[in-house]
A and B are shown apart, each in its own frame.
Chain A
């Protein structure tokens, strides 16, 4: 894992003091809310439905045990004993006092964490593959490059007042587990024909009210030009992105309106100019970063057979582990989606347990997944049963990764001031319904995603089944979408037709799964069947 040196620490500490002052100036009345708002947002502090909300950055989703512990301590000390893990691999607290904000940031800084640029129209936390450094199919560990980008984007003097927020994801395997093409910039590390490592740049993806899949802008950026190329992409956006309309201000609109070719032309021209400015970090820095993400001390194990005599354990192994690049190891997923629970929420006690298990079983490391679950990336297969037993005792062993009840849900109207409808109760009812009727186990991979408004924080466009909360004359209403995917076969889901009330949407989801079960060919997932048979049979069953 990356560790701060004195420079990183000094920067984060300075930010704590800066924000402490800014909070004080607000409390004293020297700053108006209008003046304070952009400042607090750059430190992840929102004013939400019930209180201030703090979003803490978890760079590329990687946490040490000690970091998870301090997140739990903050939940107890300053919040109400729990925290919410988000689809952007961050963590949010819902009940924060402005008076405490400086102290919280200081606690975070004591464990090399911060809330810098977790909101506002700036470059946000860099997300990555939650199996980075562990996945059998990766070309390299994407995180050193994500860390380089994190440092470059921190306190960027030119790009802190962009037209709109800016999200970057970095992956390094053919299987996309980070929704890379649904980001403002998606970077895929690849090898070219000469075997050299470089970065493919995809620019202008996103969800929100105008979902778009990012086109490729450059097939191969050499690693010693990565930052310069990113700078060029951002400068073209900062200069020419739309600022007349908040809803058209994301880079996806610029790329769409210019066309990918014209955007590329402008970026390449800016890139030529910037190359001459020599802004690229020394290559030795990239080498330094790579060392942090090397082998954490893997043993040379023989490939181990897992004892599958306990069927519950065997099911969990089948569903919640992922192949590791080293023999004898696997990555284990801790589901934060118990049946009837709140997707992504964890209590302080659960967080401490996960921290300790990470220390004990996974080289002191855990990851936040964009599906709002937690990964222990490097677990010895021989330890899996012991790990599972402890998780099970704490209610953290739900075997449902990528199943219908592994639902992504945004906070919705229970917490979010922008919401049209509640998302969490819908998620709860769906998981309860499919647990009760026993159908859940027959469906296989089915990604269900719920957003409480068009902003799409719950990725509903990218769900095999998506649900979007809308406001129908002051009453909560839910639209059903089918056919989205955030994986390497990225596609955007389509609305089935008129919306439903809360019970109606739960029924509609069940109906859609019935159509799938009746039509599926051998080995087909829900998404495959939908793609083969199209929308019509679903419409017929839902509205016919």
Chain B
């Protein structure tokens, strides 16, 4: 399980000349390969980056996770929350590569996305760094177990310390 708890983005600068807004919580180098569709990925033995659209079945990727370095999950609209499940499933299945939310990503969604396992963001509109920090630091605790290492309140109440995982 990757540690996704860091709230300070590293490598938040852009990539290359036509840099798009980009936010990253990983120490390794960003994957530069263009992400292909799930269908293209499944049909193509050598792609290492794949983009999941809301209607795709994330679980189709599971047999091939060992060759994936980047999964992009597209959020075409704010309200379509399928990408949150896609991300959690990938992390639950042991995927440790970059998991990047792209598209309609507002600062108000970041904390939930981080909890579902996203560790990189490429929002359609740039995010203000101070807003990002405020949003990620907003809630002192969490109520439930998710894909990050945050310890739920109900475990803290019964002797688990922050930083330990259930199980």
Contacts and interface: CB of A to CB of B under 8 A. Distances in A.
Contact of A158 (B78, B84, B153, B167): B84
A432 interface: no
A49 B79 CA distance: 24
Query: Which of B111, B134, B153, B158 has the most A CB atoms < 10 Å from its CB?
Result: B153
Interface string B42-67: 00000000000010000000000000
B116 interface: yes
Contact of B140 (A14, A159, A279): A14
Given A21-B134, A35-B106, A162-B81, A285 B140 contact: no
Interface string A11-49: 100110110011000000000000100110000000000
A22 B111 CA distance: 15
B88 A281 contact: no
Given A11-B140, A238-B81, A277 B154 contact: no
B13 interface: no
Interface stretch (B15-23, B24-32, B33-41, B141-149): B141-149
A5 B141 CA distance: 13
Given A238-B81, A278-B167, A151 B157 contact: no
Interface residues of A, number: 40
A80 interface: no
A243 B78 CA distance: 12
Interface in A144-183: 151-152, 154-162
Nearest to B160: A282
B79 A38 contact: yes
B92 interface: yes
A281 B106 CA distance: 30
A131 to B, nearest CB: 27
Nearest to A243: B80
B3 interface: no
A272 to B, nearest CB: 12
B85 A243 contact: no
Nearest to A151: B143
B145 A161 contact: no
Contacts of A152: 143-144
A279 B166 contact: yes
Contacts of A14: 138-140
Contact of A243 (B54, B138, B156, B160): B54
A436 interface: no
B82 A239 contact: yes
B100 interface: no
A288 B78 CA distance: 37
A7 interface: yes
A304 interface: no
A273 interface: yes
Contacts of A158: 81, 84-85, 88, 112, 116, 146
Nearest to B82: A239
A238 B85 contact: yes
A13 to B, nearest CB: 9
Nearest to A241: B82
A518 interface: no
A279 B85 CA distance: 15
Contacts of A302: none
B76 to A, nearest CB: 11
A121 B79 contact: yes
A239 B92 contact: no
B25 to A, nearest CB: 15
Nearest to A239: B85
Contact of A281 (B54, B111, B113, B152): B152
Given A7-B153, A157-B116, A282-B158, A38 B78 contact: yes
A285 B145 CA distance: 14
Interface in B66-95: 78-82, 84-86, 88, 92
Nearest to B150: A157
Interface in A70-119: none
Given A151-B153, A238-B85, A161 B79 contact: yes
Given A7-B141, A35-B106, A279-B144, A273 B156 contact: no
Given A39-B108, A161-B79, A10 B157 contact: no
A10 B160 CA distance: 18
B157 A161 contact: no
A156 B144 contact: yes
B5 interface: no
Nearest to A35: B106
Contacts of B54: 243
A235 interface: yes
A239 B80 CA distance: 10
B84 A10 contact: no
Nearest to B141: A7
Contacts of A475: none
B141 to A, nearest CB: 5
Contacts of B82: 238-239, 243
12 contacts: A17-B138, A121-B79, A157-B112, A157-B113, A158-B88, A159-B84, A160-B84, A279-B144, A281-B152, A281-B155, A282-B154, A284-B157
Interface of B: 54, 78-82, 84-86, 88, 92, 106, 108, 111-113, 115-116, 134, 138-146, 152-158, 160, 166-167
Given A161-B81, A235-B85, 9 more contacts: A14-B139, A35-B106, A152-B144, A155-B143, A157-B84, A161-B78, A243-B82, A279-B144, A281-B154
